[in-house]
Structure 1
Amino acid sequence: MVDVPASTRIPRGYPLLIAVAIAVAGLCYSSWVLEFVLPIDTDPVNSFLSELDAEGKPYREVFATADKLVGLLLIPAAIGGLLVFRRRRLTTVGWVALACFGASTIADAMLPLRDCDPAVSACGGGLFPQLHQPHALTSTLAVTSIAVAAFAFSAAAYRYHRWWILREFGVVVLVVGSAATIWMLVADNLSGSYALGIAQRIQVGSMSLWLLALAAAVLVEAREWTS
């Protein structure tokens, strides 16, 4: 069978649409910065971002809508990535994980954090608090999915010698996000306050930056393959 050149397999407009969708999703996922603009009484050092769109919060719809847009943009973008770009094992894992991340953010918005008294055992705690707070489960799935996507695309960038933006800038962002995640996991099991709110904001901010890096990589990769 004759291998059809990549330039004939990738219509020029499709990668642009995929890149724009991913970039806009990255910007929407950084909607938490509005907490510094809107009249919201939050403590960024110690509060979690899930509290911004918790049940009963005044600007819940703003943040929930942004999360839904993330999912509605990333799911078709990931499917488009699978159909448009050459399929390889690591990039396939990356696109599928990206779609899972999009679905998880939609679920995150539809299952907001509930007001809960920590003294009540049914509210959470124990080994599996996710069983008591569905929002904790969807948030865990979202973070896990984008972590898998980031690691898969980074590994693909090195193994296949492509996606150079992810080899350089993307890996730096991935390291910063991973450090913030470790900060949260360790500090959450220690007594005292360790600025978990700052750690989560660094973590989520790195996710948005990585999505922007992926969008740029899609554009560059498409330009190389269609030139």
Structure 2
Amino acid sequence: MPESTRSSRGVTVVIALAIALAGLCYSSWVLEFVLPVDTDPVDDFLSELTSGDRPYHQVFATADKLVGLLLIPAAVGALLVFRRRGLTTVGWVALGCFGAATIADAMFPLRDCAAADSGCGDGLIPQLRQPHALTSTLAVTSIAVAAFAFTLAAHRYHRWRILRVFGAVVLVTGAVATVWMLVADNLSGSYALGIAQRIQVGAMSLWLLTLAAAVLAEAGEWIE
């Protein structure tokens, strides 16, 4: 095997591992069922886990930062090593943006909207008046663009069966949860927004693991 091919495959393994670790870190919210964080999984946003007034908030904030620190170099590495295709280029750039937005999420945590001087405003989801809403929106949008781009690429280029099949199922699941949240935001009542977001974020983590599996198991199809 040529030295360049061995080197490329070695980098591919590192990229896959970085994406997989990012997916695991992004699922750190499951610790809310183990740690005494005093959240309501039915109605509370996951962003409240990183709020400064919550116990163990540094644990969840650190996990978010690790997601970005893993994904940004992984995306850059993929752009440098893997064959350039229009849709996959969009996907890797979007994945890097997701990593950056996730770091920003941790740097601008949710403020306590119960405080009289919080300035969050009124409404069903007053937290959306905060800077954290922007970083969260950028993160969700970025990974959605990445997932759609890679799924479309898998079908158009007839490659990466893992993404074509399982990745598409995860993408649809996350999209349904997102629609659930967007519709509920315009209705009176909570409509279990906490559950909807946990499904959404869980789908994001699972999609990252799916992408990692596709990169690792189908390495040759990324390089060719």
After TM superposition, the score normalised by the length of structure 1 is 0.90
Three-state SS of the structure 2 residue aligned to 1:192 is coil
Instruction: Please tell me the root mean square deviation across aligned C-alpha atoms, in Å.
Output: 2.4
Preserved contact between residue 112 and residue 118 of structure 2 (Cα < 8 Å): no
* 1:17 aligned residue: 14
1:172-191 map, 5 Å: 172-191=169-188
Does 1:32 find its partner at 2:29? yes
> Are residues 110 and 168 of structure 1, via their aligned partners in 2, closer, same or farther at CA, if it must alter by over 3 Å?
same
- CA distance change for structure 1 residues 56 and 130 in 2, over 3 Å: closer, same or farther? closer
- Matched ranges for 1:23-102 at <5 A: 23-102=20-99
1:165-184 deviations in whole A, cap 9, x for unaligned?
A: 11000000000000000000
Q: In the alignment, which residue of structure 1 is the partner of 2:194? A: 197
Paired residue for 1:160?
157
| 1:37 Cα offset (Å) | 0.3
Secondary structure class of the residue paired with 1:87: coil
Residue 131 to residue 46, structure 1, CA distance change in 2 (3 Å): closer
Partner Cα separation in structure 2 for residue 154 and residue 131 of structure 1: 30
Q: 1:170 to 1:25 in 2, by over 3 A?
A: same
Task: Please name the residue that 1:143 is paired with.
Answer: 140
- 1:124–1:133 CA contact under 8 A, matched in 2: no
Q: How far apart, in 1, do the equivalents of 2:29 and 2:170 lie?
A: 18
1:56 Cα deviation after fit: 1.9
How far apart are the structure 2 equivalents of 1:141 and 1:224?
30
Aligned length: 220
Unaligned runs of 5+ in 1: none
Q: Relative to structure 1, is the Cα distance of residues 140 and 130 closer, same or farther in structure 2, using a 3 angstrom cutoff?
A: farther
Code of the residue aligned with 2:209 in structure 1: it is: L
Return 5+ residue gaps in structure 2 as ranges: none
Deviation at 1:58, TM superposition (A): 1.2
- Structure 2 letter corresponding to 1:101: F
